[in-house]
Structure 1
Amino acid sequence: MRRRFNVNEALEVFQQLEEEGESASSSSTDDSSCSDEEAEDQAFTPGPDSGEEMEEGSDEELRFFLTTTILDVIIKYTNIEGRRKYDDWTDVDRVELRALFGLLILAGVHRSRGESSASLWGEETGRPIFRATMSLGRFHMLTATLRFDDRLTRAARRLVQQDKLAPLREVWDLWAARLPLAYNPGEDVCVDEQLVGFRGRCNFKQYMPSKPAKYGIKLWVVCDVATSYAWGIIPYLGKTTRDAPAERGQGKRVVLELTEGLSGRTVTTDNFFTSLVLGEELLKKKICLVGTVRRNKPELPPQLLQMKSRAVLSSLFGFTSTATAVSYIPKRRRNVLLLSTKHHQVQIQEGPQQKPTVIIDYNRCKGAVDNLDKLVATYSCRRKTRRWPMSLFCNMLDVSAYNALVLWLSVEPAWNQQKRSIRRRLFLQELGTSMVRPAQARRTRLPRSSSAAALLEVQQQVEPGPAQEQTKKRCHLCRGKRSVHARFCHACGQAVCKEHSTAVCSACSC
């Protein structure tokens, strides 16, 4: 295994690769002098998404996100890293990579996030489908070499492009661009943050005590309120440098970027994002804003901030030309402030609580991202890792699998209606099983476990794999010899060597 490059060496390699790419595009050179990795980089061309046929089963729903281009990028860098790290490396293809992702999803279905891989592949404690798909050693090899960029040029790209997400940027952009293409959200959407738990080394890791994970990578997410479909995601990377000034108006920038293309909707936000300036900018895009607002905003009327002379369950309203400010006191020393560009005639709900309609609409829409975070964490495919790109990619798999369920139910709303409480688990189980079936069908060696071997035999009978070519075998007539020969008898079909075989011409054979 090669040692890691320092910054100067990586920068030289990165510049050298750029010069070689420019020279290759301007003039034709001899490919025989290039190394295997450079030849693969030059020959890599992502395939079109519409050119590959859709597979049967729930796997095709996931292909809205893990399409041909994304798989080819991951395969490319995984094979490069595997050749560097292992001498006996065997290149991975789409079938095996899909099987790896399917096993991760199935591990999440069994809620085995804290369970070791050896236990999942164990004879007594494991599940037969894991042993029937691939060996434990191959699983460890693939997870250790799974990469989304070239590791040797990573430091140079971080310096040149000033991108902290460089280890995952190529795959992340391809995945994030596909989220809004498959689904049209309803009238109400919600913008909030999601924390992907991670406690390893990461220079943009955040501490959020209100989240269950406390430490991790923060993501800005916009979700559909009715289904919690993740329509857009932006990672929070912090400052570009330590000396850089703090960003002003960050909440406004995030909401405007996430709601691009959502005209005619109502966006619900919390007090980190909400402001009158944001509401006016969204109105230009024909988007309404409803959200809590902080007390230090200058656009709030002073009478809305007073609490001493007001009774419990009292409400005050402040109106401007573009927005409505609401102050509601549910209990003593508690003042809830909201800003809305949608409600211009605020009404009080009849009942013991006497809540304004703005409060009711905000409570109905505020938890879409939190609901997505809860659902994703229930059957998460994340494994214990010290690499933050791997942790973030597993979250991408979780979000993609949940979005696939939303798409499937929008097409087939009556699917497993009688098992409504567990049909998400049933969908994930069917999804993971359909992704590992092609790898099981083409496997030649049976596992040692009897249960896994029986499962594999049944699966191969249902879906027979491709015909295997005859390989070299030992001569069945050589006693005590270890010679291997490639000749086969035309009568009995067994392997024979030159000493135990005769050559017959075509005329005599007739």
Structure 2
Amino acid sequence: MADASSDGSDIEAENDYVGDSFTVIDANEEWIHEMFESDTDGDEENCDFDGFHEEWIYEEFSQRAKANLFRKRAGLLCVHPEEAGALDYFELFWDLNMWQHIVTETNIYAEQERDKNPPPTYAPHYRPTDIPEMKSFIGLCFGMGILRLPARNDYWRVGKFLFKTNYNHIMPRDTFNLLWRYLHLQNNEELGPQGDRNADKLFKIRWFVNYLNEKFQSVYMPYGQFSLDESMVKFKGRLGFRQYMPAKPIKWGVKIWSVCEADTGYLYNFQIYTGKDNGVQEKGLSHRVVMDLCTPLFGTNACIYMDNYYTGIELFHDLHVHGIHACGTVRANRKGLPNRLLPKNTKLQKHEFKLAQKDELTYCIWQDTKPVLFLSNFHSPDDTGIVSRRNNVRQKVNVTTPSLISDYQMNMGGVDRMDQMIHYYMINHRSHKWWRRIFFSLAMSCAHNAYICAKDEHPIPSMNRWPNFQDFIEDLSEELIGNSRAKKAVKVCNIERPVLEHKVEKIFTKRKVCRECSLAASGKGQRPGATNFGCVQCQIPVHVECQSKHIMRCYSA
């Protein structure tokens, strides 16, 4: 797909200078004023106005003025030196407040869980985490998306030289597993009563989602061309708003409505779909979703491209009123389309097209391999473009089409581009917690947005340092880990218990693997022995000859 160029790339923010400060003009307010300004500065005889069209017209179209330029200052809205690293750009979105929030909620959740369900005496002891340790944890998770192994514990293997990693030098396995278990984003005690129909389905990640949405919109402004589509976060567990979309590469999961920059795939705004509200199917869902996602862009003359699930006459009228240019494919059963140019009433040759116009709307039916319908609220019917297609012998040929078709083909792939990039390096280890999938998906979206910001601010140095997104992720992972190295092995749980003699007697009817033999054989490829004997106090299998080792291990905790 060709790269999209932006009409707003050279447009700077319109400011009024007042004293020592700048006052930003509200784009919505200025755009509304312009609606009522006279546009007859030229020759009056050239200003023909035919009034508003009651019906679709099929010939002698009214020529439209060129679409207004994007009103926002585009690009990265802050300044970094050329030597800025991957972490500097990542922390534009994932800043100190985010780190502190995750650390605080993780420690609270760990305390709640360990009070509710005290771990056994031999379980690893949880030491309250801090920001450097949490950064190392996230950095290791990013690394797992690049270096893929079947199971999480495989990253700490030491038995076979060929399959070793350096994870054990950075963080002990038990520490990582404890952080993985207790990772949390919201205090469960703040949730309403169980079964409350009015409870927020996204309670566990609501703060996280709102925080990132605000950051995505305040750090970087795309160059005026956007695509709107849905993406899927893979999850096959039990979840009330899990979706099945057979046409998507990820068929089962959580649906996220996304608005991305058409050229780069920068995630600008998103909304997680949580299914029916109180068991009632929402009417006008696609209309509501598009208006919600486009609200930050009202009055900016942004160009939004969408597929036929969303496109409709009423929606495009509303977007036009709010200063949004919209274009997309449309389904033949939508209300208000010109009846004469519906597929059932029109027969066209290959790559032939017909047009209709009504007020600000332009409608087109184009015969590709099958009839495709397009609708736009800012394209002129007489403007043309070029699209690439294959002929009968599979050779690429250029086909002349109306400009709304060529622009749609050029700018519709932003969300798919973002999905493609983040799923290349997504950590893919299973979890029963649905929100964890969304958490890591949005974390990777932050990294991808940071990569786009770096390339936008310093294109040549960034491309030399990070030719690919993988290079950026590798540097980001290393910078997150920094100088963090594995500390002394975590102690076993220091729960107060009465001092008893650790007697080893025959307490099991079936033979079980000796705990001490299992620990000694770990990573050496040896098979530990089994026994009917065990520690009466600890209730774990132990050989009689391993009794001294077991006692030493218990009292060294």
Give the TM-score normalised by the residue count of structure 1: 0.71
Cα distance change on mapping 1:413 and 1:296 into 2, 3 Å = same
Given that 2:143 and 2:474 are in contact with CA atoms closer than 8 Å, whether structure 1 keeps it comes out as: yes
In the other structure, the counterpart of 1:353 is 399
Seen in structure 2, the aligned counterparts of structure 1 residues 157 and 99 have a Cα distance that, compared at 3 Å, is: farther
1:299 matches 2:327: no
The equivalent position to 2:484 in structure 1, one of 417, 423, 439, is 439
The within-5 A match list for 1:35-50 is none
The offset of 1:313, in angstroms, is 2.0
- The one-letter code sitting in structure 1 at the alignment partner of 2:440 is C
Identity percentage of aligned residues: 24
User: Aligned pair 1:202/2:239, yes or no?
Assistant: yes
Partner of 2:454: 408
| 1:179 and 2:225 matched | no
Structure 2: gaps of 5 or more residues? 1-77, 120-124, 387-396, 491-557
Check whether the contact 1:104–1:382 (CA below 8 A) recurs between aligned residues. no
Closer, same or farther in 2 for the Cα pair 1:390/1:207, shift >3 Å? same
- Residues 269/434 of structure 1: CA separation in 2 closer, same or farther (3 Å cut): same
More strand by share: 2
Seen in structure 2, the aligned counterparts of structure 1 residues 151 and 127 have a Cα distance that, compared at 3 Å, is farther
Corresponding position: 1:119 with 2:157:
no
- Closer, same or farther: CA 236–158 of 1 in aligned 2, 3 Å: farther
Of stretches 396-405 and 373-382 in structure 1, the one that deviates more from structure 2 is 373-382
Match for 2:98: what amino acid? Answer: I
- The CA distance in 1 between the partners of 2:398 and 2:417, in whole Å, is 28
Which structure shows the higher helix fraction? 1
Instruction: For 2:476 and 2:232, locate their aligned partners in 1 and report how far apart those are by CA, in whole Å.
Output: 25
1:268 match: 305
The 1:128–1:147 alpha-carbon spacing in structure 2 relative to 1, beyond 3 Å, is same
Distance 1:375 1:157 in 2: 38
Q: RMSD over aligned Cα, in angstroms?
A: 2.4
Query: Is 1:93 equivalent to 2:130 in the alignment?
Result: yes
Of 456, 463, 474, the residue aligned with 1:429 is 474
Match of 1:340 in 2: 376
1:78 lines up with 2:123 in the alignment: no
Q: CA deviation at 1:344?
A: 1.8
Equivalent residues of 1:158, 1:166 under 8 A apart: no
Give the drift of 1:153: 4.9
How far is the alpha carbon of 1:413 from its aligned partner?
Answer: 0.9
How far is the alpha carbon of 1:273 from its aligned partner?
0.8
Cα distance in 2, alignment partners of residues 225 and 127 from structure 1: 41
**Residue 267 of structure 1: SS of its match in structure 2?**
strand
Amino acid at match of 1:251: S
- CA separation of 1:349 and 1:410: change in aligned 2, threshold 3 A: closer
- The AA in structure 1 aligned to 2:457 is V
What CA deviation, in whole Å up to 9, does each residue of 1:128-187 have, x standing for no partner? 431221111111110011111223554527727431111111222112221111111112
Aligned to 1:477: none
* 2:390 alignment counterpart: none
Q: Residues 403-434 of structure 1: CA distance to partner in whole angstroms, max 9, x if unpaired? A: 110111112211363587x5211111000000
Residue 315 in structure 1 maps to residue 343 in structure 2: no
The corresponding residue for 1:379 is 425
Task: Measure how far apart 1:215 and its partner are.
Answer: 0.1
Tell me, in whole angstroms, the C-alpha distance in 1 between the residues paired with 2:172 and 2:338: 67
C-alpha distance in structure 2 between counterparts of 1:160 and 1:302, whole Å: 44
Counterpart of 2:461 in 1: which secondary structure?
Answer: coil
Distance apart, 1:390 and its partner CA = 0.7
Q: Are the aligned partners of 2:136 and 2:484 in contact in 1 as well (CA < 8 Å)?
A: yes
TM-score, length basis structure 2: 0.65
Q: Which residue identity lines up with residue 328 of structure 1 in the other structure?
A: W
Report the more deviating stretch, 272-281 or 302-311.
302-311
Cα deviation, residue 79, structure 1: 0.7
Question: Structure 2 vs 1, CA of residues 170 and 140 (structure 1 numbering), >3 Å: closer, same or farther?
Answer: same
Tell me, in whole angstroms, the C-alpha distance in 2 between the residues paired with 1:385 and 1:424: 26
State the distance in 1 between where 2:94 and 2:435 align.
16
Classify the secondary structure of the residue corresponding to 2:327.
Answer: strand
Contact 1:83–1:89 (8 Å) recurs in 2? no
Gaps of 5+ in 1: 1-49, 448-510
Deviations 1:320-363 (A, max 9, x none): 012000000123xx210000012123344477633222111111
Q: 1:128 to 1:349 in 2, by over 3 A?
A: closer
Aligned positions of 1:357-506 closer than 5 A: 357-415=403-461, 417=463, 422-440=467-485, 444-445=487-488
1:399 Cα deviation after fit: 0.4
Contact 1:58 1:430 (C-alpha < 8 Å) held by counterparts: yes
User: By how many angstroms is 1:304 displaced?
Assistant: 1.0
Q: Which residue of 2 aligns with 1:250?
A: 285
| Aligned 8 A contact 2:156 2:164 in 1 | yes
Q: What per-residue deviation string (whole Å, max 9, x for no partner) do you get for residues 465-496 of structure 1? A: xxxxxxxxxxxxxxxxxxxxxxxxxxxxxxxx
Q: State the distance in 2 between where 1:148 and 1:157 align.
A: 19
1:352-392, Cα deviation, whole Å (9 max, x unpaired): 63322211111111111011111111011342111101111
- The aligned length equals 385
The 3 A distance-change label for structure 1 pair 164 and 444 is closer
CA distance in 1, matches of 2:200, 2:230: 21
Instruction: Classify 1:139/1:61 alpha carbon distance in 2 versus 1 (closer, same or farther; 3 Å).
Output: same
How many Å separate the matches in 2 of 1:210 and 1:62?
Answer: 33
Structure 2 Cα separation of the partners of residues 373 and 104 of structure 1 = 18
Letter in 1 for 2:249: P
Query: Which SS does the other structure have where 2:296 is aligned?
Result: coil
CA shift at 1:115, angstroms? 2.3
Read off the aligned partner of 1:115 and give its amino acid letter. P
Q: Is the 8 A contact 1:252 1:278 kept in 2?
A: yes
- Structure 1 residues 180 and 157 mapped into 2: Cα distance closer, same or farther (>3 Å)? farther
2:400 is paired with a residue whose SS is coil
Contact persistence 1:416–1:423 (CA under 8 A): no
1:306 & 1:184 partners in 2: Cα distance?
A: 39
Q: Which amino acid aligns with 1:211?
A: K
* Structure 1 runs, 4 residues or longer, greater than 6 Å off: none
Greater RCO structure (CA 8 Å; 6+ sep):
2
Aligned mates of 2:132, 2:420 — CA distance in 1: 31
Relative distance call for 1:396 and 1:261 in structure 2 (3 A) is same
CA distance in 1, matches of 2:260, 2:463: 24
* Shift in Å, 1:118: 1.8
Which amino acid counterpart does residue 228 of structure 1 have in structure 2? G
1:438 CA displacement:
4.2
| 1:223-238 superposed matches below 5 A | 223-238=260-275
Give the conservation status (yes or no) of the 8 Å contact 2:361–2:376.
yes
Match of 2:368 among 286, 306, 330: 330
Q: Structure 1 446/367 Cα, relative in aligned 2: closer, same or farther at 3 Å? A: same
Is the contact made by 2:227 and 2:411 (CA closer than 8 Å) also made in structure 1?
yes
Shift of 1:444: 4.8
Question: Is the Cα contact below 8 Å between 1:121 and 1:127 reproduced in 2?
Answer: yes
Matching residue's letter, 2:92:
F
Distance change (3 Å), C-alpha of 1:56 and 1:356: closer
Q: Which amino acid aligns with 1:77?
A: E
Measured at CA, do residues 268 and 158 of structure 1 come closer, stay the same or move farther in structure 2, by a change above 3 Å? farther
